[in-house]
Amino acid sequence: MTFAHLGLIPTLLNALEKQGYSTPTPIQEKVIRPILEGKDVMAAAQTGTGKTAGFSLPLLQRLTKSANKARPNCARALVLTPTRELAAQVAQSVENYGGELKLNYNLVFGGVKINPQMMKLRRGTDVLIATPGRLLDLHQQNAIRFEQIEILVLDEADRMLDMGFIKDIKRILALLPKTRQNLLFSATFSEDIRSLARGLLNDPVEISVTPPNTTVERIDQLVYTLDKTSKTKALIHLIQQEKWFQVLVFCRTKHGANRLTTQLNKKGITAAAIHGNKSQNVRTRALADFKADKIQVLVATDIAARGIDIVQLPHVVNFDLPHVAEDYVHRIGRTGRAGKSGLAISLVSADEAKQLASIERLINLKIEKKTLDAFPASQALPDVKLKTKPKRPKKPRKPKRLRAGEHVKRSM
Ligand code: AMP
């Protein structure tokens, strides 16, 4: 199967060649055609499967083929994402694939000044990529109108619900024209997602490439059991001994991420932290430096890391295990992307045995466990018997909606 077989136009095929994509990924094989045909699509696909190109390519082609022109302060396609990082990532992909088309793209998210975004929206936008809160702010200020929306994409819909965006999403949906194409992408199809889909999608084509909640097969996973107090030293030892570069390390808290970053830097390992207390500019710079190999380690919290896209990221380390088992799947999805192999290592202390058991049940796999000779665990991992089904936290934290000019203080 080639991209040409899927019916993509030569300009897009050239762009894909420039990106070095030779064959479509499984999700791309399945979604491109129905989207080109104008159908609604509901797709279960995790990050790393190539889903962004899966919806962007046919969306761009449909916009190019239609004779409509975006009027001032209007947009023709709207892509909603849960985080600023993911929005920026999607915008970059749209730019990469559609750079040679006569279409224009705009990106809006909170945490930065609203005025430049308002100015850019004036001339009309073909593809608008947005986070929900800022989009509503822009709408309230008459900077964006939705009457011309032809295509709506909800990307990482499960994460949008987890982050408490459901009200914002419903408000946006109520403002959109009734006739439009809808595309919904989600890592999992929970009952909440299905209920959102019922009110949104019209006779959708349902697509799934990896069964929800399973880890990407190509990722090698390993657990090092050790004492909590040895984690920092053990990580430094592993990075130095194994000569790792481009290591993405996950911490549960912002303070933990800061502390670890300082300790790594003290040992001569270049590291930067990204989390909700860092400004958007600092986060963007840290990510760019990491991608350009200027820093060896990026230390991130779960929400801040969502949407990070680094091709061939070789190592992901869970410095702490996440409380929500699904986050483990999202975390390690950063490695082994689109067919590349990767290694995901978790440093697990005895107090995290329950989280590990939940993860293993979710991914239906016993992860190999080892100890490090230099850092023997003083206590074996207790055997945990899980009784109840794993649960999502009941009350998702509701992110504060931003007003014009306000800066983000959201906790991540
Ligand atoms: P996504 O799941 O959309 O975040 O994409 C994951 C990664 O796969 C990104 O780095 C894309 O650039 C890359 N990618 C997407 N489609 C392909 C393809 N057909 N061949 C190779 N790499 C791809």
List pLDDT tens digits, range 339-366.
Answer: 556 789 999 999 999 999 999 988 888 8
Q: SS3 of 145, please?
A: strand
Distance 90 CA to ligand 1 centre (A): 11
Question: Domain extents for the chain?
Answer: 3-208, 219-370
Residue 227 has pLDDT above 60, yes or no: yes
Rounded distance between C-alpha atoms, residue 46 and residue 188, angstroms: 8
Q: SS3 of 368, please?
A: strand
Do the beta carbons of residue 272 and residue 261 sit within 8 Å?
yes
Ligand 1, closest atom to CA 311? 10
Least confident of 52-61, 254-263, 354-363: 354-363
Would you place residue 326 in the very low, low, confident or very high pLDDT band (cuts 50, 70, 90)?
A: confident
The reported pLDDT for the residue numbered 22 is 85
Distance 338 CA to ligand 1 centre (A): 5
Residue 371, number of CB atoms within 10 A of its CB? 14
To test the pocket of ligand 1, the residue of 5, 8, 19 to mutate (highest count of ligand atoms within 8 Å of its CB) is 19
Task: Tokens for 265, please give them.
Answer: 């830097």
Least confident of 7-21, 144-158, 271-285: 271-285
Q: Which residues have CB under 8 Å from 250's CB, separation 6+?
A: 299, 300, 301, 302, 305, 316, 317, 318, 319, 320, 322, 331
Least confident of 126-130, 217-221, 325-329: 217-221
288 touches ligand 1 (CB under 6 Å): no
48 touches ligand 1 (CB under 6 Å): yes
Give 276's strand partners: none
* CA-CA-CA-CA torsion sign (300, 304, 310, 314): positive
Percent residues over pLDDT 70 in the chain? 88
Helices assigned H by DSSP within 242-396? 254-266, 280-291, 302-305, 325-332, 353-363
309 touches ligand 1 (CB under 6 Å): yes
Q: Give, using CA atoms, the residue closest to atom 19 of ligand 1.
A: 24
Q: Tell how strand 151-154 and strand 41-44 pair up.
A: unpaired
Would you place residue 398 in the very low, low, confident or very high pLDDT band (cuts 50, 70, 90)?
A: low
Q: Check if 3-208 and 219-370 are the same fold.
A: yes
282 touches ligand 1 (CB under 6 Å): no
Rounded distance between C-alpha atoms, residue 185 and residue 208, angstroms: 10
Rounded distance between C-alpha atoms, residue 172 and residue 182, angstroms: 13
Q: Give, using CA atoms, the residue closest to atom 5 of ligand 1.
A: 50
53 touches ligand 1 (CB under 6 Å): yes
Classify residue 339 by its DSSP letter: G
Q: Which of 231-235, 243-247, 322-326 reaches the highest mean pLDDT?
A: 231-235
Distance 197 CA to ligand 1 centre (A): 25
Residue 341, number of CB atoms within 10 A of its CB? 13
Distance 337 CA to ligand 1 centre (A): 7
Helices 280-291, 84-98: axis angle to 10 degrees equals 50
185 touches ligand 1 (CB under 6 Å): no
Ligand 1, closest atom to CA 24? 19
Percent residues over pLDDT 90 in the chain? 61
DSSP 213-273: T---TTEEEEEEE--GGGHHHHHHHHHHHTT--SEEEE-SSHHHHHHHHHHHHHTT--EEE
Q: Give, using CA atoms, the residue closest to atom 20 of ligand 1.
A: 21
Ligand 1, closest atom to CA 52? 3
N-terminal to C-terminal alpha carbon distance within the chain: 41
62 touches ligand 1 (CB under 6 Å): no
| CATH architecture, domain defined by 3-208 | 3-Layer(aba) Sandwich (3.40)
Ligand 1, closest atom to CA 48? 2
Q: Give, using CA atoms, the residue closest to atom 11 of ligand 1.
A: 50
Mean pLDDT of 328-334: 80
Do the beta carbons of residue 358 and residue 390 sit within 8 Å?
yes
Q: Give, using CA atoms, the residue closest to atom 10 of ligand 1.
A: 311
47 touches ligand 1 (CB under 6 Å): yes
Stated pTM of the model: 0.64
Residue 404 has pLDDT above 50, yes or no: no
Do the beta carbons of residue 28 and residue 120 sit within 8 Å?
no
To test the pocket of ligand 1, the residue of 209, 311, 341 to mutate (highest count of ligand atoms within 8 Å of its CB) is 311
Rounded distance between C-alpha atoms, residue 316 and residue 246, angstroms: 9
CATH superfamily of 219-370: P-loop containing nucleotide triphosphate hydrolases (3.40.50.300)
Mean pLDDT of 191-208: 90
